[in-house]
């Protein structure tokens, strides 16, 4: 069973992910992305979807044309875990490729 990070561990992990915001209401981290167009946004989502399925850890997200909103939390842990931090790093790398 994966466990929720302590407040200090989460703060330390987020210091290295400056574009991700802590959402206390959701016990989650979130980031918004904007791409050139829908094709770039959906390509980005497709790459994340394949990696997420492989890792069996899935984002909560929504897409409107060129914008993608992503929320990461671990349902099994009731908060942010190492899996969310790992997925956030992967998402940042995918975003860098999509621009
Ligand atoms: C059965 C399956 O392994 C679990 O439901 C996985 C799937 N993907 C998941 N994704 C996220 N974000 N949190 C989870 O707790 C989770 N659990």
The interface predicted TM-score (ipTM) is 0.96
Residue 18's CB: how many other CB atoms inside 10 A?
A: 8
pTM, rounded to two decimals: 0.96
End-to-end CA distance of the chain: 36
Residue nearest to atom 16 of ligand 1 (CA): 57
pLDDT tens digits for 6-61?
Answer: 999 999 999 999 999 999 999 999 999 999 999 999 999 999 999 999 999 999 99
Residue 82's CB: how many other CB atoms inside 10 A?
A: 16
Instruction: Report CA(36)–ligand 1 centroid distance (Å).
Output: 31
Q: Which pLDDT band, with edges at 50, 70 and 90, does 98 fall under? A: confident
* Ligand 1 atom, smallest distance to 73 CA: 12
* Ligand 1, CB cutoff 6 Å, lining residues: 56-58, 74-76
pLDDT tens digits for 67-79?
Answer: 999 999 999 999 9
Instruction: Report CA(56)–ligand 1 centroid distance (Å).
Output: 6
The structure tokens 């939390």 sit at 73
* Ligand 1 atom, smallest distance to 75 CA: 15
Instruction: Check whether 95 has a pLDDT greater than 90.
Output: yes
At 51 the three-state DSSP class reads helix
Predicted local distance difference test score (pLDDT) of residue 77: 97
Predicted local distance difference test score (pLDDT) of residue 27: 97
């Amino acid at each position: 069973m994966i466990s929720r990070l302590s407040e200090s561990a989460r703060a330390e992990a987020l210091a290295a992910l400056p574009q991700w915001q802590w959402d206390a209401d959701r016990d989650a981290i979130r980031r918004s992305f904007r791409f050139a167009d829908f094709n770039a946004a959906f390509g980005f989502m497709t790459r994340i979807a394949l990696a997420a399925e492989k890792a069996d850890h899935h984002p909560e997200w929504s897409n409107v044309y060129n914008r993608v909103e992503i929320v990461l939390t671990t349902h099994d842990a009731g908060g942010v875990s190492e899996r969310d931090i790992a997925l956030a790093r992967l998402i940042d790398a995918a975003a860098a490729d999509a621009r």
